[in-house]
Amino acid sequence: MMKDIATPSRTREIVEQFDLKAKKSLGQNFMTDVNILHKFVDATGMTAEDGVIEVGPGIGALTEQLAKRAKKVIAYEIDQRLLPVLDETLKQYDNVEIRHEDFLKANLDHVFSEDFQSVEHVYAAGNLPYYVTTPILMRFLEERLPIKTLTVLIQKEVGDRLAAKPSTKAYGSLSIATQYYAETEVISHVPANVFVPKPNVESSIIRFTIRSEKAVQVKNEDAFFKLIRASFAQRRKTLRNNLQSWSGNKEAVAQVFDLSGIDGGRRAESLSIEEFAKLADAWEIARTSSPL
């Protein structure tokens, strides 16, 4: 039986066989620790009756472990050089389909309605490069794609921000944006030395369990997120100062704090998502009485 892809010797064989050089522009680093991938797949919660979408299979290290667990795997790979590699490394798995396509531009309606028709639930997974982490996460979350969990291997610093709680240094608009749609959990940290080539930073496995209902209900979702971004525009400034700089309307901003009962002298990082919802709903009332 062939060795798992995610071992140092097998990865080296594949890299040499196909004369592969990891593309820095695509954030490519190949995993060489099977035990970490087992932990990753366990974290997804999938069973043999489920399907999974993978973003960025690389040379197939994670794809292989997903294929061993799931009924069907559809993986999106943007790098054309890796297509013949994946054909070779995954040839024994007839439940894997590789799509040479940019996931951010892919039409996923057919995938969920037709390609995964025979599966119980759909999950999502990926070893995501830094430069597209946020767009990929937000596509899954904002479009409310019908997945149970989204489990990703990402740069530790970004993972810390995604899972951060109020009143911590890492907490910010990205923390709230993801936690609005999903419960976010750090599964484990991953050292740099289990990748080839070795990256300059550590990584984390993060799991997003999609909420059946959003964390809070707000009158205007678009305004909610705009207000959050404005509140964090300059972290050392108070909420009042940030919102006044953004809106240019002192009277409306004062009304927002009166209506919400939130102290404008606080900083954004001290507010919970529930408090931001109160602030955003007060903002909607202030906007109608004093157009911004």
| Residue 102 counted as an annotated binding residue | yes
Whether residue 94 is annotated as binding a ligand: the answer is: no
Does 242 appear as a known binding residue? Answer: no
Task: List own/partner pairs for 98-101 with CB under 8 A and 24 or more apart.
Answer: 98/57, 99/74, 99/75, 101/76, 101/77
> Can you read off the two tokens belonging to residue 223?
């305004």
Q: What 8-state DSSP symbol labels residue 18? A: T
Confirm whether residue 127 is marked as ligand binding. Answer: yes
Please state the three-class secondary structure of 179-221 as a single string. Answer: HHHEEEEEEEEECHHHEECCCCCCEEEEEEEECCCCCCCCCCH
The span from the CA of 231 to the CA of 229, in Å, is 5
- Contact between 101 and 83 (Cβ < 8 Å): no
Task: At 130, list the tokens.
Answer: 């830094």
Question: Do 158 and 164 contact (CB within 8 A), yes or no?
Answer: no
Q: Can you name the residues that pair with 50 across neighbouring β-strands?
A: none
- DSSP assignment letter at 292: -
Annotated binding-site residue? 29: yes
Annotated binding site: 29, 31, 56, 77, 102, 127
Annotated binding site for S-adenosyl-L-methionine: 29, 31, 56, 77, 102, 127
